[in-house]
A and B are shown apart, each in its own frame.
Chain A
Amino acid sequence: MTQNAMKLNGRDNVAMALDLLAAGTEALVLCEDGTRAGVVLTEEIPFGFKLATRDITAGEPILKYGEVIGVASRDIKAGSVVHVHNVDGTRARGDLN
Chain B
Amino acid sequence: MTTTFMGYPRPDGSAGARNWVLILPVQRNMNLLAASIAKLVEGTKVMLSPGEGGRTTVDRRTIARTMVGLGQNPNVGAILLVAIKPKFGYKELSENYFLDELNKTGKPVRTLVLSELGGYYNALGEGVRLARELALEASRVHRQPCPIAKLTIGVKCGMSDPTSGIVGNPVVGRMFDLLIAGGGTALFSETTEIIGAEHLLVKRAATPEVAAALLEAVRITENKAKSTGEDIRNINPIPSNIAAGLTTLEEKSLGAIAKSGTTPIRGVLAYGERPAGQGLYFMDAWMSSLSLPLCFAAAGAQIVLYQMGGGDLPDPCPPMPAATSGIISPLMYITGNRHTFAKAGDSMDFDSSRALGGGFTVREIGDEFLGHIIDVASGTRTRMETLRHEDPVELYFEGPSL
Q: Which residues of A contact B (CB under 8 A)?
A: 6, 8, 16, 18, 46-50, 62, 64-65, 67-70, 82-84, 87-97
Chain A residues contacting B251 (CB-CB under 8 Å) are 64, 69-70
- A8 near B166: Cβ-Cβ < 8 Å: yes
Contacting chain A: which of B11-19, B82-90, B191-199, B203-211? Answer: B191-199
Judge whether B356 is part of the interface by a CB distance below 8 angstroms: yes
Chain B residues contacting A50 (CB-CB under 8 Å) are 162, 245, 247
- A95 near B245: Cβ-Cβ < 8 Å: no
User: How far is it, in angstroms, between the C-alpha of A62 and the C-alpha of B254 when the chains are bound?
Assistant: 13
Q: Is the interface of B mostly helix, strand, loop or mixed?
A: helix
Q: Which of B197, B221, B225 contacts A67 (CB 8 A)?
A: B197
Judge whether B314 is part of the interface by a CB distance below 8 angstroms: no
Contacts A49-B162, A83-B245, A92-B195 known; A97 to B226 CB distance under 8 Å?
A: yes
- B245 near A92: Cβ-Cβ < 8 Å: no
Chain A residues contacting B221 (CB-CB under 8 Å) are 92
The residues in B between 80 and 110 inclusive whose CB is less than 8 angstroms from any CB of A are: none
Q: How far is the CB of B233 from chain A (nearest CB, A)?
A: 6
- A16 near B247: Cβ-Cβ < 8 Å: no
User: How far is it, in angstroms, between the C-alpha of A84 and the C-alpha of B339 when the chains are bound?
Assistant: 23
Chain A residues contacting B255 (CB-CB under 8 Å) are 65
Q: How far is the CB of A85 from chain B (nearest CB, A)?
A: 9
User: How far is it, in angstroms, between the C-alpha of A68 and the C-alpha of B197 when the chains are bound?
Assistant: 9
- B250 near A68: Cβ-Cβ < 8 Å: yes
Shortest Cβ distance from B357 into A: residue: A18
- B247 near A94: Cβ-Cβ < 8 Å: no
- A94 near B162: Cβ-Cβ < 8 Å: no
Shortest Cβ distance from B258 into A: residue: A65
User: How far is it, in angstroms, between the C-alpha of A88 and the C-alpha of B247 when the chains are bound?
Assistant: 8
Judge whether B173 is part of the interface by a CB distance below 8 angstroms: no
- A92 near B197: Cβ-Cβ < 8 Å: no
Q: Which residues of B contact A (CB under 8 A)?
A: 161-163, 165-166, 192, 195-197, 200, 221-222, 225-233, 242, 244-245, 247-251, 254-255, 311, 337, 339, 356-357
User: How far is it, in angstroms, between the C-alpha of A68 and the C-alpha of B337 when the chains are bound?
Assistant: 24
- B247 near A91: Cβ-Cβ < 8 Å: no
- B247 near A82: Cβ-Cβ < 8 Å: yes
- B229 near A69: Cβ-Cβ < 8 Å: no
User: How far is it, in angstroms, between the C-alpha of A90 and the C-alpha of B192 when the chains are bound?
Assistant: 14
Contacts A83-B245, A91-B222 known; A47 to B339 CB distance under 8 Å?
A: yes
Q: How far is the CB of B246 from chain A (nearest CB, A)?
A: 8
Interface CB pairs A-B, < 8 A, 29: A6-B166, A16-B166, A16-B245, A18-B356, A46-B245, A47-B311, A47-B339, A50-B162, A50-B245, A65-B165, A67-B197, A67-B200, A67-B254, A68-B250, A69-B247, A70-B250, A84-B242, A84-B247, A87-B248, A88-B248, A90-B250, A91-B195, A91-B249, A92-B221, A92-B225, A93-B226, A94-B227, A94-B231, A95-B230
Q: Which of B200, B230, B357 contacts A94 (CB 8 A)?
A: B230
- A48 near B245: Cβ-Cβ < 8 Å: yes
Shortest Cβ distance from B231 into A: residue: A95
User: How far is it, in angstroms, between the C-alpha of A46 and the C-alpha of B397 when the chains are bound?
Assistant: 39
Q: Which of B229, B311, B357 contacts A48 (CB 8 A)?
A: B311
Q: How far is the CB of B169 from chain A (nearest CB, A)?
A: 12
User: How far is it, in angstroms, between the C-alpha of A64 and the C-alpha of B258 when the chains are bound?
Assistant: 14
User: How far is it, in angstroms, between the C-alpha of A82 and the C-alpha of B162 when the chains are bound?
Assistant: 13
Chain A residues contacting B166 (CB-CB under 8 Å) are 6, 8, 16
- B233 near A94: Cβ-Cβ < 8 Å: no
Q: How far is the CB of A4 from chain B (nearest CB, A)?
A: 9
Shortest Cβ distance from A3 into B: residue: B357
- A69 near B165: Cβ-Cβ < 8 Å: no
